[in-house]
């Protein structure tokens, strides 16, 4: 899936630096796949270590002392974690967006994305998922994202967590795990597809170039029906077949159009 190339609109946030700043934690360095935001400083660094990581793919809550969420992605391999403190004039949301867009433009697949209170409690993300108290902040000022890198790095996952604390300090936490074994098929949630469509205006599925696939058909139809006010245009060699299949899955016909522009696989464009 792709996003429109929108980094120019936030020029100050899209200037990356490969340098290690003097104020960084000693021995720290950036991840090759995730470019640093300008003037950001590394305030916590956990070098590559063999471990198992479980990344939630749903809002998290704690019940009877146990974390609960709808789904998860699990991998064992070399995991690296970096926490950046952002300069005072930058927000965690803007840094999060610029980093997400850069990764997706490199072909990374978005698996899960939540914002604000839809993520659950910030304290749980900070302490239970990432083990870093610096990341505790207001529930309404958080974002979390899980992506799978593009081939040949498609056995690597990247997690992003952005938070602005009550003292207005903003942080961007980045983790990457390079799995020891193939990750296999990982599918995004329907809510994530909807959030991406509403945020970027498009969804791109280059691998869906044949007749409708039942699994993806269910994911896309459920995503579209989470907001029945949206209308989309479908393009691609089998766009009409996908349109009819989505109608059969309960998406109103009036919400779906078939476009004429060429596209590899299946492409959805939000009609504004």
Claim to verify: residue 168 and residue 261 sit in the same structural domain: no
Task: Judge if 165 and 204 occupy the same domain.
Answer: no
Residue 9 has pLDDT above 90, yes or no: no
Provide the pLDDT confidence category of residue 203 given band limits of 50, 70 and 90: very high
Q: Is residue 33 part of a domain?
A: yes
* Same-domain status, 72 and 201: no
2 domain-assigned: no
11: pLDDT strictly greater than 50: no
Domain count, the chain: 2
195 and 249 together in one domain: yes
User: Do 129 and 240 belong together in one domain?
Assistant: no
Q: In the chain, what percentage of residues exceed pLDDT 70? A: 92
Is residue 184 situated within a structural domain? no
Q: Picking from 4-18, 23-37, 65-79, 120-134, which range would have the lowest pLDDT averaged per residue?
A: 4-18
- Does position 8 have pLDDT exceeding 50, yes or no? no
Q: What is the SS3 string spanning the chain? A: CCCCCCHHHHHHHCCECCCCCCCCCCCCCCCCCCCCECCCEEEEEEEEEEEEEEEECCCEEEECCEEECCCEEEEEEEEEEEEEECCCCCCHHHHHHHHHHHHHHCCCEEEEEEEHHHHECHHHHHHHHCCCHHHCCCHHHEEEEEEECCCCCCCEEEEEEEEECCCCCEEEEEEEEEECCCCCCCCCCHHHHHHHHHHHCEEEECCCCCCCCHHHHHHHHHHHCCCCCCCEEEECCCHHHHHHHHHHCCCCHHHEEECCCCCCCEEEEECC
State which of 179, 207, 235 marks the end of a domain: 179
Domain assignment present for residue 175? The answer is yes
Does residue 39 lie in a domain region?
Answer: yes
Mean pLDDT value across the chain = 90
Please check the confidence at residue 51 and state whether its pLDDT lies above 50: yes
pLDDT value for 167: 82
Q: Are residues 131 and 220 in the same domain?
A: no
Whether 90 and 204 share a structural domain: no
Residue 120 sits in a domain whose CATH number is 3.40.1000
Are residues 203 and 235 both part of a single domain?
yes
Tell whether 27 is covered by a domain.
Answer: yes
At 158-170, the pLDDT tens digits run 999 999 987 889 9
Residue 54 and residue 149 share a domain: yes
pLDDT tens for 93-109 read 999 999 999 999 999 99
pLDDT surpasses 60 at 201: yes
Domain stop point among 179, 211, 228:
179
Can you give the pLDDT at residue 106? 92
Domain boundary among 158, 179, 200: 179
Does pLDDT of 57 surpass 80?
yes
pLDDT at 168: 85
**pLDDT one-digit tens code per residue, 145-194:** 999 999 999 999 999 999 998 788 999 999 999 999 999 999 999 999 99
pLDDT of 7 higher than 80: no
Domain span at 53: 7-179
Same domain? 139 vs 13: yes
At 121 the pLDDT is 94
User: Are 163 and 215 members of one domain?
Assistant: no
Looking up residue 241, the CATH number of its domain turns out to be 3.30.1330.60
Question: In terms of domains, do 229 and 127 share one?
Answer: no
Averaged pLDDT for residues 205-221: 93
Q: Confirm whether 153 is domain-assigned.
A: yes
Residue 247 domain flag: yes
């Amino acid at each position: 899936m792709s996003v429109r190339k929108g980094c120019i609109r936030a020029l100050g946030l899209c200037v990356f630096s490969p340098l290690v700043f003097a104020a960084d934690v000693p021995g720290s360095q950036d991840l090759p796949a995730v470019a640093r935001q300008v003037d950001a400083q590394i305030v916590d660094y956990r070098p590559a270590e063999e471990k198992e990581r479980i990344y939630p793919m749903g809002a998290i809550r704690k019940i009877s002392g146990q974390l609960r969420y709808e789904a998860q992605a699990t991998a064992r391999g070399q995991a690296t974690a970096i926490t950046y403190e952002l300069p005072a004039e930058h927000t965690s949301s803007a840094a999060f967006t610029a980093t997400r867009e850069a990764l997706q433009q490199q072909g990374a697949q978005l698996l899960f994305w939540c914002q604000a209170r839809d993520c659950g409690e910030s304290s749980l993300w900070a302490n239970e998922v990432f083990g870093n108290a610096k990341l505790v902040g207001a529930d309404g000022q958080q974002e979390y994202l899980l992506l799978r890198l593009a081939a040949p790095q498609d056995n690597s996952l990247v997690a992003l967590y952005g938070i602005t604390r009550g003292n207005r300090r903003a942080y961007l936490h980045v983790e990457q795990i390079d799995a020891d074994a193939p990750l296999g098929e990982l599918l995004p949630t329907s809510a994530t597809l909807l959030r991406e469509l509403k945020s970027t205006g498009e969804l791109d599925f280059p691998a869906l170039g044949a007749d409708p696939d039942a699994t993806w058909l269910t994911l896309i139809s459920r995503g579209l029906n989470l907001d029945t006010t949206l209308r989309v245009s479908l393009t691609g060699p089998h766009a009409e077949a996908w349109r009819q299949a989505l109608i059969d899955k309960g998406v109103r016909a009036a919400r779906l159009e078939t476009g004429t522009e060429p596209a590899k696989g299946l492409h959805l464009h939000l009609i504004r």
